[in-house]
Amino acid sequence: MARRPHAFTALTAHHDCEFRELLGRVGDKWSLLVIAMLERMPRQRSRFSVLRRSIPGISQRMLTATLRNLERDGLLTREVFAEVPPRVEYELTALGKAFMTPVCALVDWLQANWSAIKTARDSFDRRAPSRRKAS
C-alpha cells in the first residue's frame, strides 16, 4: 500500500482545529444533501421553501443552520429579494460546484461498496450481538 504523505497532514496537526471541524462537517449528511439538492436545481439555485420540501426529514432550524454554515464556508450564496413576503434564494458558488467532484467520488465509492459493508455489518451483528453499533 503506497503511503500518502500529502493527505492528512492538516488532519493530524494539532494547530489546525478549524480544518478538522470542516472535515467533520462535510461528511454531515445534511450538508451533503443540501449541496446535492442545490446542484440538481435549475441554475444550481433554489428558494428556502423548495429546498426544504426536497429534503425529507430536515427541520427548518437544521436547514437554516446548515445553509448558514455552507454560506460561511463560501460554498453557496444567499440572496434576499425585497418582496412581501421576502424571497430568499440560495445558489452554489464556483467553489461549491467544484466541491461536488470529490464528494461524488466518495458517495460513488460508498454506493459501489455498500453491499460489502452491509454484509460485514450483518456478520458482525451475528458474531457479537452485544457489540452492535456504538453511538
Residue in the block written with cell 456504538? 134
HSE at residue 58, side-chain half, CA atoms within 13 A, is 25
Which residue lies nearer to a copy of itself by CB, 84 or 116? 116
45 binds a copy of itself (CB under 8 A): no
E strands, the chain, in order: 45-47, 76-81, 87-92
Which residue lies nearer to a copy of itself by CB, 84 or 126? 126
Contact 97, 44 (CB under 8 A): yes
Q: How far is the CB of 133 from a copy of itself (least distance, A)?
A: 6
Neighbours of 29 (CB within 10 A): 11
Note the maximum CA span of the chain.
61
Q: What is the enclosing helix (H) or strand (E) of 83? A: none
Q: Which of 34, 44, 46, 90 binds a copy of itself (CB under 8 A)?
A: 44
Q: How far is the CB of 125 from a copy of itself (least distance, A)?
A: 8
As a residue count, the chain comes to: 135
107 binds a copy of itself (CB under 8 A): yes
Q: Looking at 9-17, 45-53, 79-87, which segment touches a copy of itself (CB under 8 A)?
A: 9-17
Q: Which of 11, 53, 60, 79 binds a copy of itself (CB under 8 A)?
A: 11
15 binds a copy of itself (CB under 8 A): no
| Interactions with a copy of itself, residue window 49-88 (CB under 8 A) | 55-56, 64-65, 68-69, 71-74
